[in-house]
Every structure is written in C-alpha cells, then in structure tokens.
Amino acid sequence: MFILITLLSIFMKKVSLFSNIIFLLLLLSACNNSTSETKQSVSSDSVSASSSVTLNNDSSLTANSFSQQSITQVNHSADNDIYTTEMELSKFNEVEINCASEVEYVTNNEYAIKITTDEKTASNLDINVHDQKLRISLTGNNNYNYLKFTIYGTSKLEDVELTSACSFRNNGDLNPRGLDIDCNGASMITLNNISTSELNIDCDGASSANINNASCNNLDIDCNGASSIVIIGQCRNAEFEANGASSIDIKQLNCSKITKEEIMGASTLKK
C-alpha cells in the first residue's frame, strides 16, 4: 500500500508539471498574438494620419491637420525644403487671402487647393471655407521664403479680396453674375477673359489691378492712395473715382457712357 501511494504521488507531480508547461506555452502564444494586433493597429493609424483631408462646409484646415497631410518634396535648398500638398475643398464662390503669396486660380468643375511652401510656413497656415467663402491666412511668425497656392474652382467666382503682398491671377474664363475685386496693401491682381453684368474694382494703398478682355454692363472703379488700375474691354455704363496719387487707365476700354468721374488730388484718369 505504501509503495502504491508513493507511485501515485510521483505521477501526480509529473502531471502537474506537464500542465504548467502547457499553461506557459498558451500564455506565450497569447502574448505573441497581442503584439501582432498592436503592430497592425499602429500601422493602420499611421496610414490614416498620412491620408488627405476633405474639408466640408463650415470646416477648417488648421496647422495641426495640415501637418498630417501626405506631402511631396518638390525642391531642395540649403535653407529650406519646399513641399507641395493638394486637398479637396467644399463649394465656394468667394476668395479672401490675407498673406503675402503667389496665387493662381484655375477654373474647372472641382473645388480644391494645392499648397507649395516650406514645412515651417505650412504649420502656420489657416485655411477654411465658411458660407461659401474660402479664407486663407497665416498665424504666428510670418517670416517665410516661399508660399504659393493653386486654387481650383468654377468660373462663377464672385468676389476676390487681397491684402498684404499677394499676387493673384486666373487661368480660365470667368463668367459670374457679378464680380467684386478688392485689393489692399501691395497686392496685385491680373484677370483675363471676364464676362459679367456688374464689375466692381476697388484698389487701395500701393495695390494694382490689370483687367484684360473684360465685358460688362456696369463698371465701377475706385482707386486710392498710390494704387493703379488698367482695364481693357468694353462696358455700357461706367463710374470712376480716384484719390491721392492713384491712376486709372481706360485708354483701351470701349465705354458707351461714363455716368460718374471724380478725380482728385494728384490722381489721373487716362483716356
């Protein structure tokens, strides 16, 4: 009996040891599966962070979300790396730009923007669409070497507002119901092939506007400070106001009737 009990005890110890080994193997397997799932999750999050962002109406692209965009290096210099990124926008028919930059407006059937600049400047960009107006500005330190926007929109652009040293030009015809142009600071706008009912141009500071091949019913030009406006095309009715040392050039404008002409100070109206 004593021998039987001893043998049974030894057997039970071996069974217990075997169970412990099985348990350890199962535990190691579970740990490996958990590590694999964590790696897959991190990889998925990384892909999501690098994908482009679509802006919905009344939403904005802030510095943080811009830094998450997938960017492509287009130029390298000793001082700065210049990158470009492109993203979709919600519908807009007005543009307001409040930073020194080069802007090209391309007419097509989509709403999008392509940004080319260095990474530091990109981190200070604030781009938003609200009430169908696209607004672009810079926050924080505004010292930068290069900033260019290519804006894609329809031919129904109704309002352009520029400040600082912004340079704006269009690529494609514009035919909205009415078009308002407002330039301030040292901004400059060049527009070609415009057909609209109402065309209003307001330049202040040292800004300039060059309008080529314009056709409209009513033209209203207001030029102040040291600004200048040159317009080529035709209109039915026109009003001109100039103050300071500004200049309005209508030598190549075919106008049926001038209903208002107020030229003051050292300003000139060139006919």
User: What does the pLDDT look like over 153-207, one tens digit per residue?
Assistant: 999 999 999 998 999 999 999 999 999 999 999 999 999 999 999 999 999 999 9
Q: Which helix (H) or strand (E) holds 3?
A: helix 2-50
Asked if residues 157 and 175 have their Cβ atoms less than 8 Å apart, the reply is no
Residue showing tokens 């010292």: 143
**φ/ψ (deg, to 5) at 93:** -135, 10
C-alpha to C-alpha distances, 148 to 9, 90, 100, 132, nearest whole angstrom: 84, 20, 9, 22
> Is 80 exceeded by the pLDDT of residue 129?
yes
**Average pLDDT of the segment spanning 195-222:** 98
CA 80 to chain centre: 20
* Residue 145 DSSP code: S
Structure tokens at 240: 């001109």
User: Where is pLDDT greater, at 235 or 79?
Assistant: 235
What DSSP string runs through 158-213? -EEEE-TT-EEEEES-B--SEEEEEE-TT-EEEEEEEEEEEEEEEE-TT-EEEEEE
Asked if residues 266 and 248 have their Cβ atoms less than 8 Å apart, the reply is no
Burial status of residue 146 (CB atoms within 10 A of its CB: 0-12, 13-18, 19 or more): middle
Residue showing tokens 């329809």: 154
Asked if residues 139 and 124 have their Cβ atoms less than 8 Å apart, the reply is yes
Asked if residues 61 and 87 have their Cβ atoms less than 8 Å apart, the reply is yes
Tell me how far apart the alpha carbons of residues 230 and 252 are, in angstroms, rounded to a whole number: 9
**Average pLDDT of the segment spanning 62-73:** 42
Across 43-47, 167-171, 214-218, 255-259, least confident range:
43-47
Burial status of residue 4 (CB atoms within 10 A of its CB: 0-12, 13-18, 19 or more): exposed
> Is 70 exceeded by the pLDDT of residue 4?
no
Q: What is the pLDDT of residue 79?
A: 52
CA dihedral in degrees (144, 72, 96, 196; nearest 10)? 130
Write down the domain spans for the chain: 1-50, 52-270
- Quick: pLDDT tens for 86-114: 999 999 999 999 999 999 999 998 999 99
Which neighbouring-strand residues pair with 241? 222, 262
> Is 70 exceeded by the pLDDT of residue 131?
yes
The widest CA-to-CA distance across the chain, in whole angstroms, is: 130
Tell me how far apart the alpha carbons of residues 155 and 227 are, in angstroms, rounded to a whole number: 27
Q: What is the pLDDT of residue 87?
A: 92
Tell me how far apart the alpha carbons of residues 28 and 263 are, in angstroms, rounded to a whole number: 88
User: Where is pLDDT greater, at 148 or 27?
Assistant: 148
Which neighbouring-strand residues pair with 61? 127
Asked if residues 59 and 90 have their Cβ atoms less than 8 Å apart, the reply is yes
- Quick: pLDDT tens for 22-46: 444 554 454 455 444 444 433 333 2
Q: What is the pLDDT of residue 169?
A: 98
Fold of 52-270: Pectate Lyase C-like (2.160.20)
Q: What is the pLDDT of residue 193?
A: 98
